[in-house]
Amino acid sequence: MQSSSDIYDLAIIGAGIVGLATAHFLHQSAPDRKIVVIDKESGPGLHQTGHNSGVIHAGIYYAPGSLKAKLCTAGAKATKDFCDTHKIAYENCGKLIVATDASELSALDELERRATQNGQVVQPVSREELAEREPMVLGVQALFSPASGIVDYGEICRVLHRRLESSGVDFLFGQAVTGLEERTDNTVVTTSGGALSTRLVVACAGLQADRIAALSGVADDFRIIPFRGEYYRVADRSRMNAVNTPIQTFLDVQHVNLVAPLMLCQELIEPLRRAKGSVVNVSSIAAQQVHPFAGAAYAVSKSGLTTLTRELAHELGDTGVRVNSVAPGEIETSILSPGTQEIVDRQVPMRRLGRPEEVAEVVHFLASTQSSYVTGSEIPINGGQHI
């Protein structure tokens, strides 16, 4: 049995930014408190904290007057102050919030209103200024938040860990919490490495919070709903030519654009035969001519797909299965490269971008019985760019 001197005043479950900041505040407010921080990983900040976008949010999103708005604003200042004190690098780079089309302008206006009421300065950015600031971003309007920044939250965690540990706070890494038993005067925390007693438990377990809540018996119906974040890597603007594309990258592109359509056709050949179905492949203008933005691997894969279309049409003609393809040119989508308008002005006789629905209508035609005597064909959809 533990003596009273062996009992912790406070056990914090989770050594992410929330758990460490909690330990930091409570230790500062009462340095004599006996505190232990428990985490199942080998070090601090190895879950969400070490894998987020690293943004120091200014406090522009939340409802004016709400606790979230107040704490976000205060937290941004506290984060920067802590970094200044402990010489942790951060950057006040600002943030652009972009309306990609006219339907998002009302939401942008509402965001500007919220920011103003939250005491934050935001600057409207026109389409032209947006193109000048960030040529890789396409949008009709934007807001610039100069107070937003970026920081390595993992490094903040490492600094907090070192400071807390040197001040006498205990850390139990590599120990998953498996049980919580609340007694009259303390709580027994069972981990994969043993058990300890504490007067108070604070759960800062992130995505494991619902499991900790269930162990404690506090809330059996509490469930974390996970959302996966996705990030885009900004590509090198130089064209990936045949001689400078890594072989594995070259092969990966072939698998996505050429091998995958063939695999689908092979797997679905029997139902296609029974239904006398139609296959419509999506090639590209890059299969017909060297394109300034499409890399060599992409062009080769699309050229191969054009050839595959003919081969499949020849093989399957007597089964009633038709195989055709479309070859779009410069289509107005969210992934247009800077400089596309120059291509349109110089190479496209119709002098405009194509619309997605114009591609869809041709695909629908090739898939329908209206094209029942068409197979082995490729239809350019490029405003005459191929001429």
Q: Tell me which residues are annotated as active site.
A: 298
Helices (H) and strands (E) in the chain, counts: 12, 16
State whether residue 95 is helix, strand or coil.
strand
The bridge status of strand 90-91 relative to strand 149-151 is: antiparallel
Cα separation values, 306 from 86, 269, 280, 286, 382, Å? 59, 19, 11, 11, 16
- What distance, in Å, lies between the first and last C-alpha atoms of the chain? 87
Q: Are 115 and 135 in contact (CB under 8 A)?
A: no
Q: Are 77 and 56 in contact (CB under 8 A)?
A: no
CA triplet 336, 232, 89: central angle to 5 degrees? Answer: 130
Give the separation between CA 60 and CA 111, rounded to whole angstroms. 7
Strand ordering across the sheet containing 95-99: 95-99, 141-145, 123-126
Buried b (16+ CB within 10 A) or exposed e, 78-109: ebbebbeeeebebeeebbbbbbeeeebeeebe
**The two three-digit tokens of residue 327, written as one number:** 């070859």
State whether residue 262 is helix, strand or coil.
helix
